[in-house]
Amino acid sequence: MGYNVAIDGPAGAGKSTIAKRVAKEKGFIYVDTGAMYRGMAIYFLEQKISPDEKEEIAKACQNAEVSIAYEDGEQQIYLNGKNVTALLRKEEVGKMASISSAIPEVRQKLLSLQRNLAKEKDVVMDGRDIGTNILPDADVKVYLTASSRTRANRRYLELREKNVDCNLDEIEREIIARDERDMNREIAPLKQAEDAILIDSSDLSIEEVTEKILELCK
């Protein structure tokens, strides 16, 4: 059995940054669920299925096996045994992943792939429903959050660094709206698992949050 760490929380709470750090410190695999959806999307594109052919996508996902490995500390995504990491960031792959991830059969297929990975290996997974749905028996569960203002501010600084013109109040409004959608959606809504430890990162540095989670893993 693998040792499993589940980190859930709203958009902009710093989940993936923290999850990657914890995985690196512990020598665990960071399960990038987004990258797995992209791996799946590559399969649909290879099969010449278009994003609006929902039934075809639902059928095809049964024949795709997506897995994660690390080589020289870098995450690699394999699709049916072939390394497809170099293709993940393509525009059409992102578009297909966004559409196909809403299809129940695709979510179900990835759910079983993610659970198998967690059975065999020590993993850190982050998302919206890891502790409640994907890994309900995780050894450590964390619900990582921060005030909407803090999360908006982090996003604002990220965008300013890329010289993107943006408005802090507008970003905060978008974040609040996204929380609302995530918490009220039918499939796998965002919520804190009953046995998850709440960490509010509003006034904590990345190092401090990482340290807190590493403490929980002892």
Q: Does 131 show up as a binding residue in the annotation? A: no
Q: Does 48 show up as a binding residue in the annotation? A: no
**Angle between the 104-120 and 33-46 helix axes, to the nearest 10 degrees?**
130
Q: Does 17 show up as a binding residue in the annotation? A: yes
Q: Which of 77, 46, 44 is nearest to 61 (CA)?
A: 44
Q: Does 10 show up as a binding residue in the annotation? A: yes
Q: Does 205 show up as a binding residue in the annotation? A: no
Q: Does 14 show up as a binding residue in the annotation? A: yes
Q: Does 27 show up as a binding residue in the annotation? A: no
User: Which residues contact residue 179 at a Cβ distance below 8 angstroms, ignoring those fewer than 6 apart?
Assistant: 10, 11, 148, 190
Q: In whole angstroms, how far apart are CA 32 and each of 130, 148, 186?
A: 12, 24, 23
Contact 6, 140 (CB under 8 A): yes
H or E element at residue 29: strand 29-31
User: Which residues contact residue 56 at a Cβ distance below 8 angstroms, ignoring those fewer than 6 apart?
Assistant: 47, 49
Contact 53, 42 (CB under 8 A): no
Binding-site residues, in ranges, read: 9-17
Binding-site residues for ATP, in ranges, read: 9-17
